[in-house]
Structure 1
């Protein structure tokens, strides 16, 4: 799938305050955007995981870190996928 590039101007002071570099901060912004768009119902967990740059299972497991919780049907899928991998 083709990707579009979006450029954001991030003040140097933000990177210094966050003790990070532009690349790491950009990756974090992608995850944060994916989590928020998923939470708002604007992206499915599959699409949000693509935006975050991780697998769907990894994305669903990471939601707890942001106090966002998957829907019951996604938890069922996650449990099923986890059980079948063992």
Structure 2
């Protein structure tokens, strides 16, 4: 396991940054949903329920795919 240390201003929401990184790595297939949840420090269920708020489909479709289907 690798460790990454970031220095962020106090005004930055740490959980939000972790979710952005975790959802991006999950979407690219680098992390499983369980690994992504662990990175954020939340349950797998909470990660899966929250991923959509970051534009990530837990079903493999991109945001563009879903928008295209909805506009047909």
After TM superposition, the score normalised by the length of structure 1 is 0.57
Task: Give the match for residue 46 of structure 1.
Answer: 34
Corresponding position of 2:7: 9
Deviation at 1:71, TM superposition (A): 2.5
* Structure in which a larger fraction of residues adopt helix: 1
User: What pairs with 1:1-86 in structure 2 (closer than 5 Å)?
Assistant: 6-10=4-8, 15=9, 21=10, 25-71=13-59
Q: How many residues align?
A: 60
Following TM superposition, the consecutive aligned residue runs of length 4 or more in structure 1 with deviations greater than 4 angstroms are: none
Provide the aligned C-alpha RMSD in A.
2.4
Runs of 5+ unmatched residues, structure 2 = 61-72
TM-score (norm 2): 0.66
Bigger RCO (CA 8 Å, 6+ sep): 2
The runs of 5 or more residues in structure 1 that have no matched partner are: 16-20, 73-86
Q: Tell me the distance in 1 between the aligned counterparts of 2:2 and 2:30.
A: 19
